[in-house]
A = this chain, B = another copy of it.
């Protein structure tokens, strides 16, 4: 084996390792920030991240959302969407109605109380995120946002490639 071949292999292994290292670090960061937010939601509002996420999706849609399209929009996994809906209805934070001619299709919507509660949580949520991420400094935040934008494009491209 020539020295060039050895170099090539060494570089490949090193590059591979870098992609995997980046992915594990990305997952770690995302879990760490998420856990901070989960813990704060529990402590200050006695609620969960999937419940907050559920309400956040509805806050963007004042006319309500069909349950199926809501589950697709949720950003966090691990929540049972119909279980969350039942709980939020019980707490008076959302309304849930089935269609007149299709009783299996449900539309959920924030109530006035739900919107007020969500706005309070969203304001604190933003503060927690700033407390957690802000110390990174504006330059780092800007650069990281830009690079993650590249990663987002790359990942979406890889996805559509593998769906071909």
Question: Residues of A at under 8 Å CB distance from B?
Answer: 15-16, 18-36, 39-40, 75-79, 126, 129-136, 138, 140-145, 147-152, 154-159, 162
Contact = CB atoms under 8 A, between A and B. Distances in A.
> Which 6 A-B pairs give the minimum distances between C-beta atoms?
A78-B78, A30-B30, A19-B133, A32-B155, A132-B158, A77-B78
B152 A22 contact: no
14 contacts: A16-B130, A18-B138, A18-B141, A19-B130, A23-B129, A27-B76, A28-B152, A31-B75, A32-B152, A36-B159, A36-B162, A39-B162, A132-B158, A140-B151
Contact of A141 (B22, B135, B149): B22
Given A19-B130, A135-B158, 19 more contacts: A16-B126, A16-B130, A19-B126, A19-B134, A20-B126, A20-B129, A22-B141, A22-B148, A23-B132, A24-B75, A26-B33, A26-B148, A27-B34, A31-B75, A36-B158, A36-B159, A77-B78, A78-B79, A144-B151
